[in-house]
Amino acid sequence: MKRHRLGLLFCSLILLVVSGRSDPRTSDWLESLHLTATGSVAQVDNLSRTSYEPTRKDATTYEFSVSSTQPRQLTRNLLLTGSAEVSSLSVSEYDLTDQVRFSGRLALQRKFGLGPQATVLKFSAGTSYKSARFAGDRGWTTEASGQVSKRILANVRLAANAGFLEHSARSATFDLNQHSFSVDAQWDIDDHWTLSASAGRLSGDIVANAAWAVWAQAISGGFGPTVSNYYNARPWTVTHLYGPNWVSYNVEADVDFWSISLGYAFNDRTSVEVRRSGAYVVNRIGITYPTDSWGLSLTHRF
């Protein structure tokens, strides 16, 4: 209940920033409110995050989000932004993994100097509620992050990021506590084309999945005492997410992740992006869960 009250309080604060204005004129409020809709489709290899290769499940995912953002210029170099978002994930082959998320976020940005090449420091914090089709994964998520960015050339931007995430779910299997570090690069090739890349590392809790036949061997000692002792000490439950009697389990892991994307802007409002990304997960006893994906997204700003 305490986490729920904190989440509701934070969401109320977001709404005050997004909807509140010192100027009472409605037209000014609407002009400063930015609405964005994004639709994405991706082909994901090993969506199930499964270690045993013959049983890995690949699938096509569909995502859609609508967000509203409103900035407030506090001083010449200080910007406060409030945002709210509703997003959904749908996987037709494994519909128990479908989910809807309601999010709110505050970001404070400080610009050091004048012009587009000045260094920018940004801190943000947010909370969201995850309404997953599988009840055990439902719950509140809190996030905090920091970023320092700079344009080293007029059309090249670099950024370094650090973040923290905690998800408190109904089932301990889906509880997460993670921290991450990453670097981003963006090259504005011309007025239409943009090339972006990122790489980083995440450490903390990861939810993996296994077919019952494989899991039964793991916890009974069929793969050795190290595997058995570790998995028996971690939360797990039968969820049927990727098939009858499939198990979801929680492990501590390090994740090396990367992505590269090419975007094309048709105009100031509409753009399309193709993305290639991957994640290499290694848990504390050296078992791996590689994931790769290709994706295409369309974004329109109202």
Q: What is the CATH number of the domain that holds 14?
A: 2.40.160.40
Q: What percent of the chain has pLDDT over 70?
A: 89
Predicted confidence (pLDDT) per residue in 9-25, tens digit: 444 444 444 444 444 44
Domain count, the chain: 1
CA-nearest of 191, 236, 192, 193 to 218 is: 236
Structural domain for 52, as ranges: 2-301
pLDDT at 25: 47
pLDDT at 245: 97
pLDDT at 113: 87
Spatial distance between the Cα atoms of 274 and 262, rounded to a whole number of angstroms: 6
Predicted confidence (pLDDT) per residue in 236-260, tens digit: 999 999 999 999 999 999 999 999 9
CA-nearest of 103, 10, 30, 115 to 65 is: 103
In this prediction, residue 105 has a pLDDT band, given cuts at 50, 70 and 90, of: very high
pLDDT at 6: 44
- Identity of residue 234: R
Predicted confidence (pLDDT) per residue in 186-227, tens digit: 999 999 999 999 999 999 999 999 999 999 999 999 999 999
Spatial distance between the Cα atoms of 271 and 93, rounded to a whole number of angstroms: 28
pLDDT at 11: 46
Residues 6+ apart with CB under 8 A from 123: 107, 108, 144, 145, 146, 147
| Total H helices, total E strands in the chain | 4, 13
